[in-house]
Amino acid sequence: MEAPGIIAHDAPVFGKATIGKGSTVTAPDAQQANPHVNPLEIDWSLTVRRCMDGDSSAWAELVKTHHRRVYGLCYRFTGNPTDAEDLTQDVFLKVYSNLSSFDTGRGSLQVWITTMTRNLLIDNFRRTRNQRATSSLDDGWESTEELVPVDRLVQKGPSPHESAAQKELAAMVQNALAKVSVELREAVILRDLQDMDYKEIAQVLGIPEGTVKSRISRGRAELARLLERNRREVM
């Protein structure tokens, strides 16, 4: 079935971009979206059925609610805003094409979409392993609120000097994160940047919770080591 226009909610304005044959992404002003929607109050199984019945408003509701999280995950994994935009569109096209496979008995819609996003990111990583460029990671850093969790590592300051230092440190964090192995990186991203609990991460990655905790611990340690090495290099 052909996906209706995908509407981005509180995300970079993509304008209209082709996501597949006959499908486009349309991004309205963020102010048009309802900021008070609580995902926990929505019956997603009903919304999915409405989407399958061709209800474009149901599809718009689903995308507006989950778009920011998907884009944030794509950006954190790739470190490139353009790639993140393209991958986000691919994710929602894949989500729409596979709505019939969603089963509430196997987990929440958030977990299902995150799993699909993760699988697509892994496929993309393998496909572009030898093609990835080392472009600047600064571009678009502040383009979406999903990227704000890095503030845990950076204290905001009012002066231009402090702002510049914050941006530089944010780039260092993203650069270091990109050097962490894929299996450790995805665990850290899902836990520390996507705020998913251990059970949800275990469902997404298809591994035991104990393994999840181990990967997160190792990933954090590796990230800290890389950041410390970068700090010494710039001193």
pLDDT in tens, 112-170: 999 999 999 988 888 876 555 433 333 443 444 444 444 444 445 556 666 676 777 77
pLDDT beyond 70 at 68: yes
Q: Are residues 65 and 112 in the same domain?
A: yes
pLDDT attached to residue 204: 92
Residue 132 lies in a domain: no
Torsion of CA 143, 148, 150, 155, to 10 degrees: 110
Tell me if residue 16 falls in helix, strand or coil.
Answer: strand
pLDDT beyond 90 at 19: no
Tell me if residue 188 falls in helix, strand or coil.
Answer: helix
CATH of the domain at 41: 1.10.1740.10
Q: Are residues 123 and 161 in the same domain?
A: no
DSSP string, 52-77: HTT-HHHHHHHHHHHHHHHHHHHHHH
- Per the structure, the count of domains in the chain is 2
CATH of the domain at 209: 1.10.10.10
Q: Are residues 112 and 30 in the same domain?
A: yes
What residues contact 55, with CB distance under 8 A and at least 6 apart? none
Structural contact between residues 199 and 208, judged by C-beta atoms closer than 8 angstroms:
no
pTM: 0.61
Residue 189 lies in a domain: yes
Q: How confident is the model at residue 56 (pLDDT cuts 50, 70, 90)?
A: very high
Enclosing domain of residue 11: 6-127
Q: Are residues 92 and 184 in the same domain?
A: no
Structural contact between residues 219 and 180, judged by C-beta atoms closer than 8 angstroms:
yes
Residue 22 CA to residue 118 CA, distance in Å, equals: 25
pLDDT attached to residue 228: 86
Residue 67 CA to residue 88 CA, distance in Å, equals: 8
Tell me if residue 202 falls in helix, strand or coil.
Answer: helix
Q: Are residues 27 and 94 in the same domain?
A: yes
pLDDT attached to residue 123: 87
Q: Are residues 97 and 195 in the same domain?
A: no
Q: Are residues 169 and 100 in the same domain?
A: no
Q: Are residues 100 and 206 in the same domain?
A: no
DSSP string, 104-131: GGG--HHHHHHHHHHHHHHHHHHHTTTT
Spatial strand order of the sheet with 23-26 comes to 6-7, 23-26, 16-20
> What are the counts of helices (DSSP H) followed by strands (DSSP E) for the chain?
8, 3
pLDDT digits (tens, 9 = 90+) for 189-208: 999 888 899 999 999 999 99
Residue 143 lies in a domain: no
Q: Are residues 86 and 33 in the same domain?
A: yes
Residue 177 lies in a domain: yes
Residue 112 lies in a domain: yes
Q: Are residues 22 and 101 in the same domain?
A: yes
Residue 173 CA to residue 189 CA, distance in Å, equals: 12
Q: Are residues 17 and 111 in the same domain?
A: yes
Residue 1 lies in a domain: no
Q: What is the mean pLDDT of residues 36-51?
A: 75
Q: Are residues 50 and 120 in the same domain?
A: yes
DSSP code for 139: T
Q: How far is CA 227 from CA 62, 79, 134, 178, 233, in A?
A: 37, 16, 18, 12, 10
Tell me if residue 156 falls in helix, strand or coil.
Answer: coil
